[in-house]
Structure 1
Amino acid sequence: MKRYYDPWLARIRSLLKAGRGRPVALVVLFGLSLVNLSSEWPSDIARPAFVGALDEALPDSFKTARQILFDQYQRRFPRKPTAQPVTIVEIDEETLATVGQWPWPRNRLASLIDAIAALKPLVIGLDIYMPEPDQTSPDKVAGNLPETAAALAEGLRALPSHEAILASSLRAAPTILGAAALDHPTFTTSTDLRSAPILVHGTDPLGHVQRFDYVLASLPELQAAAHGQAMLSVALEQGVVRHIPLIMGLGEKLVPSLPMEMLRLATGSSAIDVFADASGVQAVGVADVLVPTQPGGDIWLHFASIRSTLSRYVSARDILQGTVDPERIRDKLVLVGLTGTGVTDMRTTALGELVPGIEIQAQVIETIFEGRFLRRPAWLKWAESAFIMAVGLLIIWYVPRTQSRFAVFIRAVPKGSTVLGLFLHLLNLLCCFFIFVRFGLLVDAASIFIIPSAVMGCFFSSALLHADEQTRTEAAHVQGREDENDRTGKAPGP
């Protein structure tokens, strides 16, 4: 086995020693930089086929490190809400215990909407979709009665259906219905959604945004009654929500997310504006609000801790019983959703907290109101890559020089390189974190750490091999002298 590996070890040694380690360091620098780019290829340049193949072969090369780093930025500096434009009416455990288990009859949900509307909110967004008829509706109950109860059945059919009651409530209040985007069809999915117009300024961005073929939406009767429809989907990366789409594609049309549709209705706007160019979506706006986005029409969400947002929650039971302070609803953007155990759509945020899905929608609206956006524009990736290449080439040019100040310093203080390396990487991390706090830019300190470190590692490996060879040569020389002394019978020299 040793003889099998010896030729390979010899080749590796010769490669690392060649040119004082510079050729290997260059290969490492350019190779890792290409892998880094392939993991987050800027959308303003067509990605070559070999780069796509590289990304598929190494799908989590730098992406995972980058995501963990950005999560740590947020955990060290979470957003602190300065305004509370949103109130969440939660169908919680107390509500379910008092009113009844979920799903409710549609007339009961209508009562909740009527009670909220009476308190004069700006808009009511329902994080609920109802794709099937209510089986407790009078006409449905009548159809299940025996023939002996014909008179009762006739009386029930004369009553309005629960869908008609709910539609009346949706029509009377400023309501928006949510819908779930799906990639596959089911019995209750459709391929279209009634939604407000989206006006595109510039290039058609449909090829850049997240697209779906099917949607799980509410019944057409309910869609026609509500004042808007919107998507509820969020983007998940390894089970964590980090960025949220503001617009999405459904088939061949653009559809809004729930936060943008709520802002449209609250401002009385007839459409949502999308500004795009060849690189993708640049911003999404409504009225005088303009939100800068990533090229895919999404935003990196700067999360606030759930502990700082609990005051926005109001129990639906208190709304129905009329015991809530009206000021908590008046002129607010109200979200209605489920938080009761067993019926909640729970999501993990970048802060590592498990929160109801409706909380994420609320934080998007809150972030837009505050105008505090996290950004990772396309130019930032190029700036990072240029900086990494410049630092890497400087290392390759300077470090192997035997008479450089760095080489003299390392010979004089062997542990100095470790201390200096740790200091520089700590400085890199602190600078990137400062940029995050001050400007809201997500700078990838992980790649800036990993790639130059790998380049430096090539020279350390070369230096270790050189030192090992010197040790072997000296040991062989000593052994030769001892053998010579044994043959001549002389005493070993000093």
Structure 2
Amino acid sequence: MKRYFDPWIARTRHLLKAAQGRPVALALLFGLSLLNLTSEWPSDIPRPAFVDALDAALPDSFKTARQILFDQYQRHFPRVPTAQPVTIVEIDEETLATVGQWPWPRNRLASLVDAIDALKPLAIGLDIYMPEPDQTSPDKVAANLPKSAAALAAGLRALPSHEAILERSLRAAPTILGAAPLDHATSAASTDLRSAPILVHGADPLDSVQRFDYVLASLPELQAAAHGQAMLSVALEQGVVRHIPLIMGLREKLVPSLPMEMLRLATGSSAIDVFADTSGVQAVGVADVQVPTQPGGDIWLHFASIRSTLSRYVSARDVLQGTVDPDRIRNKLVLVGLTGAGVTDMRTTALGELVPGIEIQAQVIETIVEGRFLRRPTWLKWAESAFIMTFGLLIIWYVPRRQSRLAVFIRAVPKGSTVLGLLLHLLNVLCCFLIFIRFGLLVDAASIFIILSAVMGCFLTPALLHADESGRTETTHAQGREEADGRTGKARGP
């Protein structure tokens, strides 16, 4: 096996020693920098075809390392909530045991909406889809009765349907219905949503945002009764939620997310503002609040630990029974969702915690209200690339110079130079982490570390190989001297 690798090792040594390793270092610097840009192409320039081909051939080349690093930023410095504008009315295990299994008849859901509305919230967002008629409604039950029960059927048909009851409750309260985006058609899917207007300032951002062709929304009469409609969507990357879209596209129409629609209704605004240019969405706003976004209309969410937000949860059972503290609801943005086992969607956050999907929507609202945003603007990607290229070229120019202090140090103490390199990279990570804490900027220290380590390795490797060869030569000479001394001793004899 050793003989098989010896030619490759020899070629590698020769290549690294050629022109003092500069050609290999330059090739790595430019090649890895291009690969890094490919994994996160800046939105302010068109994406060439070869970039797509390179990304397909080497998917997630730097993306995974970048995501892990950004997760570590948050895990070491999670957001600590300073306000609690959101209350989650959870349909939990206790509620299901008391009120009945899910899905509930629509009149029972109407009772919950009425009970919440009586406590004067600013807005009520329902993370619930109702695309089909309630089969427990009196008219539906009447249709399934035998002919012998004609009188009973007539009496049932005279009662209001469960949809009609829920319509009245939705119309009377400041309610918003959620809807689920779909990429494919289903029997219950539709292609439109009755959403509030979105006013675009600047270029049309429709091609920049995440777009869907279908939506799983509530019945048209329920949509008409509610005061708003919103799309519920999270962006999953390897099963983890890191950023959330504030606006999305439904075919040729822009539609809001639940957090933005909740804020629109709570502030009494008639529309949501979107500020965009040719590179994509720059900000999404409502009333006097503007949220800086990524070009795709999404935000990186700075998560708070679920342990610090448990106080926002209120059992729907307590609301229905009238035992909840009114201050938990009054002047709050209320989200209604399922958290009972087996009936909820659980999501993994950047903190590594498994939380209900409704919790993520609450954290988006909380982040906007607090004004504490994480940002990774396009200029930051260019700044990172400029730093990598500048520092990389400086390494390539300075390190191989035989009389430079660093070159002398590397030749004298090869292992010490490795320690020096690690210390510099730790300083890089520390600086990027401090920038995250102070300014909320996501600086990609991982790519800086990987690329500059590869460049520096082109000069450290020959020094290490030289030290290894010198060590082997010295060992061989020592063994030779010992053998010679041994033979001399035997020749002299007693």
TM-score (norm 2): 0.95
Q: Deviations over 1:78-106 (max 9, x none)?
A: 11111111111000111001000000000
Aligned to 1:283: 283
Structure 1 residues 324, 476: CA separation in 2 closer, same or farther (over 3 Å shift)?
closer
Unaligned runs of 5+ in 2: 486-490
Alpha-carbon contact 2:414-2:463 (below 8 Å) kept: no
Structure 1 residues 366, 482: CA separation in 2 closer, same or farther (over 3 Å shift)?
closer
Structure 1 residues 482, 211: CA separation in 2 closer, same or farther (over 3 Å shift)?
same
Unaligned runs of 5+ in 1: 486-490
1-structure distance, mates of 2:134, 2:98: 21
Q: Deviations over 1:382-420 (max 9, x none)?
A: 000110111111111111112111122234444321221
Which secondary structure does the structure 1 equivalent of 2:290 belong to?
A: strand
Q: 1:453 aligned to 2:431?
A: no
Aligned to 2:401: 401
- Residue type matched to 1:407 in 2? A
- Residue type matched to 2:275 in 1? F
- Residue type matched to 2:40 in 1? E
Aligned to 2:133: 133
Structure 1 residues 479, 72: CA separation in 2 closer, same or farther (over 3 Å shift)?
closer
Which secondary structure does the structure 1 equivalent of 2:108 belong to?
A: helix
Q: CA deviation at 1:473?
A: 6.8
Aligned to 2:488: none
Aligned to 1:153: 153
- Residue type matched to 1:402 in 2? R
1-structure distance, mates of 2:6, 2:433: 46
1-structure distance, mates of 2:296, 2:130: 29
- Residue type matched to 1:283 in 2? A
Q: Deviations over 1:83-135 (max 9, x none)?
A: 11111100011100100000000000000000100111111000111111111
Aligned to 2:181: 181
Aligned to 2:264: 264
Q: Deviations over 1:209-232 (max 9, x none)?
A: 001111000011101110110001
- Residue type matched to 2:316 in 1? A
Q: CA deviation at 1:15?
A: 1.2
Aligned to 2:317: 317
452-461 or 246-255, larger mean C-alpha shift: 452-461
2-structure distance, mates of 1:477, 1:98: 87
2-structure distance, mates of 1:484, 1:326: 97
Which secondary structure does the structure 2 equivalent of 1:254 belong to?
A: strand
2-structure distance, mates of 1:255, 1:273: 11
Which secondary structure does the structure 2 equivalent of 1:431 belong to?
A: helix
1:242-261 correspondence to structure 2 within 5 Å: 242-261=242-261
Which secondary structure does the structure 1 equivalent of 2:417 belong to?
A: helix
Structure 1 residues 477, 310: CA separation in 2 closer, same or farther (over 3 Å shift)?
closer
Q: CA deviation at 1:150?
A: 0.6
Aligned to 1:32: 32
Which secondary structure does the structure 1 equivalent of 2:206 belong to?
A: coil
Q: CA deviation at 1:476?
A: 8.5
Aligned to 1:61: 61
Q: CA deviation at 1:464?
A: 3.1
Q: CA deviation at 1:4?
A: 6.2
Alpha-carbon contact 2:122-2:333 (below 8 Å) kept: yes
Q: CA deviation at 1:20?
A: 1.0
Q: CA deviation at 1:335?
A: 0.4
Alpha-carbon contact 2:177-2:230 (below 8 Å) kept: yes
2-structure distance, mates of 1:476, 1:325: 84
- Residue type matched to 2:260 in 1? M
1-structure distance, mates of 2:253, 2:462: 58
Aligned to 1:227: 227
- Residue type matched to 2:423 in 1? F
1:33-432 correspondence to structure 2 within 5 Å: 33-432=33-432
Aligned to 1:438: 438
Q: CA deviation at 1:249?
A: 0.4
Structure 1 residues 468, 419: CA separation in 2 closer, same or farther (over 3 Å shift)?
closer
- Residue type matched to 1:389 in 2? M
Which secondary structure does the structure 2 equivalent of 1:299 belong to?
A: strand
Structure 1 residues 287, 411: CA separation in 2 closer, same or farther (over 3 Å shift)?
same
- Residue type matched to 2:32 in 1? L
2-structure distance, mates of 1:428, 1:79: 23
Which secondary structure does the structure 1 equivalent of 2:285 belong to?
A: strand
Q: CA deviation at 1:13?
A: 2.5
- Residue type matched to 1:18 in 2? A
Which secondary structure does the structure 2 equivalent of 1:269 belong to?
A: coil
1-structure distance, mates of 2:201, 2:151: 60
Q: 1:15 aligned to 2:15?
A: yes
1-structure distance, mates of 2:326, 2:375: 37
Q: CA deviation at 1:54?
A: 1.1
- Report % sequence identity: 87
Q: Deviations over 1:254-280 (max 9, x none)?
A: 000000001111111111000000000
- Residue type matched to 2:378 in 1? A
Structure 1 residues 484, 306: CA separation in 2 closer, same or farther (over 3 Å shift)?
closer
2-structure distance, mates of 1:150, 1:258: 45
Q: CA deviation at 1:462?
A: 2.0
2-structure distance, mates of 1:61, 1:259: 33
- Residue type matched to 1:251 in 2? R
2-structure distance, mates of 1:384, 1:472: 42
1-structure distance, mates of 2:138, 2:484: 111
Alpha-carbon contact 2:414-2:464 (below 8 Å) kept: no
364-373 or 416-425, larger mean C-alpha shift: 416-425
Structure 1 residues 235, 29: CA separation in 2 closer, same or farther (over 3 Å shift)?
same
The CA RMSD measured in Å over matched residues stands at: 2.3
Q: CA deviation at 1:450?
A: 0.9
TM-score (norm 1): 0.95
Structure 1 residues 321, 3: CA separation in 2 closer, same or farther (over 3 Å shift)?
closer
1-structure distance, mates of 2:96, 2:138: 22
Alpha-carbon contact 2:414-2:460 (below 8 Å) kept: no
- Residue type matched to 1:291 in 2? V
Q: CA deviation at 1:468?
A: 4.9
Q: CA deviation at 1:22?
A: 0.8
- Residue type matched to 1:190 in 2? S
Q: Deviations over 1:183-207 (max 9, x none)?
A: 1111111111110010000000000
Q: CA deviation at 1:66?
A: 0.5
- Residue type matched to 1:262 in 2? M
Q: CA deviation at 1:8?
A: 4.0
Structure 1 residues 472, 75: CA separation in 2 closer, same or farther (over 3 Å shift)?
closer
The total of aligned residue pairs comes to: 492
